[in-house]
Structure 1
């Protein structure tokens, strides 16, 4: 099967999206010579070579969005893209969200190809008035809109006025667990004291991840727990603001800004509690990773987190500092191992992985124009 996967950008900020596309492409890994991956922006190499033949277009954001004087530039770009897509003549185009879809779908619609188009939505996006009509250009039997969670599918379905299928993303639990390192080794890599109580976060340092209020939470907790420590693994534009707040609250010895780390997925056992205070998420792979590492999770009360942990989750509104303090104190004073096991049983990572694989095997192979119930890995419904 020939597949062309087109992603918005390379780079550290897009790592989780790359991982999802890699997992999808791994389902047809025996035909790697027929797989192609395009990165529209950025120059950084992919994490591995499992994505087939890689091409970096190295385009600018302005050229991709095609606004104002860049409209003419985009017209020439789309002509070039059309020639390359026609040359490859892929059976399936796998597109990374609405930004890529806006650029590529008009191109595909003008070509006399029978390629099927799968658009994978990884998170909430700001929709344009023209977006619902965008997908009319592709015959319904050749188009699938897929969201990485049921909550996201429902939201997008309402915005676009058409069916969006939920195929909740999952990662291979066996591969993930094999890569984990011990608590002591993980703390050693992060420069942490083995006796500290460590609260962990993993993600880009941006406002929507909700990390800034966690510094106020730490300040409150440190009044009664002098050995508590917060680790933020990730990098982003909010780092200066976080550093300023750390200085203002005199938390320098209690916070580690670990930056972007390629070994981030190996380090979860360094944490006593995982904090996920996001204000917006399409799925949140870090939740799955923490649970599979047997680390209890406290998360914001987003529907996508409730979808994954159900009644076993501990949820707090993103900006409720006192609520986070209470929830973390509760976890620290309880049997953390038992809570982690309960959350792991509810997440059921092995079954989730099998459903994810089955969903995309069927999506990639479907030539019938119909979608079976199992293509929605939760309950067979489209939103």
Structure 2
């Protein structure tokens, strides 16, 4: 079976999306031949020689203003390339890619499309019409969490498959570095106090600006604690400037992007996830499998995964986050980590994901 994975772009900003698609495609079956298209260009998070970077203009892809006139030409190119590729199944990265590709399939009924949503997206009436125009046996819509699937199903009025991303807990645990090794890789100074971790792109939706403000209050109540934020992005300079202005240069560390992030979770005593919005939040699962307890914002997608085992805090409530950080200690960490692992049930979640991914691609 020929499977084509069509994504918006490559590079570190799209790392989490690539990771999800990679895990989904790994369950395509032994007879599957997989190739990848990156519409804007860039590189996959994993090496694969069967990758084509299209380098299409972003404005043309989004169909803005006069660039909309180029979309028929782009679709003609895609239709020709799809026929040459002989693709039987296409995995599409969300509504942005679907807007360009799905109209092409009107003339290719033999090709089945799987549109995978990674987060909440504002769907226009034309998007809803697009997703409903082709028959259900040709287009399947899926989402990376039950919460997201239910929301999309209400919005588009057709079934949405919930495909909650999960990891093989045995393989994930085997790759983990020990506490001191991981801290060495992150170039973190020695500390006797609690080390809080945070992971993700340095963008507004992750809430790291609020977390730094909360840490500034918490460290006054619990001297010796430190915070390490792993990731990169457009807000790095402004976050560093705020760290410096608060006098936290020695205790808050922006560690940058690390390709081997999955191996480093045990560097942290606690993982803080102050996201303002999430489609799933893979870092929650990664931390729990690494036996690192999680404190997160009160988002339905986090409750879906951790149920009653986590401390859920209001979005952007600096005082609540500061108070929680001040009371986190090593003894409580052990108890919470055990409770969260039982709630997540990684082995059960992994089997459900394997079955769902196979069903999505082969169904």
Report the TM-score range of the alignment, normalised by the length of the smaller protein: over 0.9
Would the aligned equivalents of 1:10 and 1:45 in 2 still touch at CA under 8 Å? yes
CA separation of 1:280/1:3 partners in 2, compared to 1, >3 Å: closer, same or farther?
A: same
SS of residue matched to 1:322 = helix
1:226 aligns with 2:223: yes
Pairing 1:167-246 to 2, within 5 Å after superposition: 167-192=163-188, 193-246=190-243
Match of 1:115 in 2: 111
1:76 CA drift (Å): 1.0
1:46 CA drift (Å): 3.8
Cα RMSD of the aligned pairs, angstroms, is 1.5
> Matches of 1:161 and 1:185 in 2, distance apart?
50
Deviations 1:255-282 (A, max 9, x none): 1111111121111101011000001100
Match of 1:92 in 2: 89
Match of 1:155 in 2: 151
> Matches of 1:88 and 1:138 in 2, distance apart?
21
Would the aligned equivalents of 1:216 and 1:321 in 2 still touch at CA under 8 Å? yes
In structure 2, runs of 5+ residues without a counterpart are: none
Would the aligned equivalents of 2:221 and 2:326 in 1 still touch at CA under 8 Å? no
Shifted more, 224-233 versus 266-275: the winner is: 224-233
> Matches of 1:208 and 1:46 in 2, distance apart?
22
1:126 CA drift (Å): 2.2
In structure 1, runs of 5+ residues without a counterpart are: 367-383
Of 58, 72, 91, the match for 1:75? 72
1:196 CA drift (Å): 3.7
Would the aligned equivalents of 2:198 and 2:272 in 1 still touch at CA under 8 Å? yes
1:115 CA drift (Å): 1.6
TM-score (norm 2): 0.96
Would the aligned equivalents of 2:210 and 2:316 in 1 still touch at CA under 8 Å? yes
SS of residue matched to 2:255 = strand
Pairing 1:56-75 to 2, within 5 Å after superposition: 56-75=53-72
> Matches of 1:255 and 1:60 in 2, distance apart?
39
Of 255, 262, 279, the match for 1:258? 255
> Matches of 1:44 and 1:4 in 2, distance apart?
16
SS of residue matched to 1:24 = helix
1:16 aligns with 2:16: yes
Match of 1:27 in 2: 27
1:295 CA drift (Å): 0.5
Deviations 1:278-298 (A, max 9, x none): 011000000000001100100
CA separation of 1:292/1:67 partners in 2, compared to 1, >3 Å: closer, same or farther?
A: same
Match of 1:326 in 2: 323
TM-score (norm 1): 0.91
1:338 aligns with 2:310: no
Match of 1:355 in 2: 352
Would the aligned equivalents of 1:184 and 1:194 in 2 still touch at CA under 8 Å? no
> Matches of 2:165 and 2:337 in 1, distance apart?
21
SS of residue matched to 2:30 = helix
Match of 2:38 in 1: 39
1:29 CA drift (Å): 5.7
Question: How many residues are paired up?
Answer: 362
> Matches of 1:58 and 1:171 in 2, distance apart?
32
1:235 CA drift (Å): 0.7
1:194 CA drift (Å): 4.4
CA separation of 1:194/1:253 partners in 2, compared to 1, >3 Å: closer, same or farther?
A: closer
